[in-house]
Amino acid sequence: MVCGNGGSMADAMHVAEEFSGRFYRDRKPYPAMAFSDPAHLSCVANDYGYDQVFVRMVAAFGKPGDVLIVMSTSGNSDNVVLAAEKARELGITVVGALGKGGGKLAQLCDIQLHAPGSRSDRIQELHMLAFHMIIEAVEGDLGH
C-alpha cells in the first residue's frame, strides 16, 4: 500500500504500478496498490473529512505483515500521519519516503528514506531514484 498527496500521490501510483506491473524483469506481479481512487477520496473527504481518506483504506485492506509506504516531503500531512498511525496499530510495517526533517511521520516509520534538502521537487526526485533501486533489487531477489 502506498499513499501521498499531490506529487507524492503521483509518485505513489508510480511505485505501486512498478510492483504490480514490472520494472525491468518479466516476473510474477507483486500485490501493490496506491490509495488514489478519486471516488474513494471524494466520498470519504465528503463524509468524514480529508484527513480520513488514507486511514480508511489502511483499515479496509491492511493486515499484519503488510507494508504501507507513506510519501511526504514535509512529513506533516494529517491524512498520511493518520494512515501511518493506523498501520502501526494493525501490525503493518511503515516505510516513509520523507524530506525536510521528516515531520510527524519520522517517529511513525519503521524504515525511513530521508531525502535531504528543502525543495519538494528535489526530494521527490530522490525518493523516486531510491524506489527504482529498491524495485530493481526486489526483482533481482524475488523475480524468478
CATH of residue 32's domain is: 3.40.50.10490
Number of domains the chain is built from: 1
Q: Is the pLDDT score of 115 beyond 80?
A: yes
- In a domain, residue 44? The reply is no
- In a domain, residue 106? The reply is yes
Q: Considering the entire predicted model, what is its pTM?
A: 0.94
DSSP code of 123? H
Average pLDDT of the residues in 85-103: 97
Q: What pLDDT is stored for residue 143 in this prediction? A: 55
Domain span at residue 18 reads 2-39+52-76+92-137
Q: Treating both helix axes as pointing N-terminal to C-terminal, what angle do 7-20 and 120-142 enclose, rounded to 10 degrees?
A: 10
- In a domain, residue 67? The reply is yes
Q: Provide the mean pLDDT of the chain.
A: 95
Average pLDDT of the residues in 48-60: 98
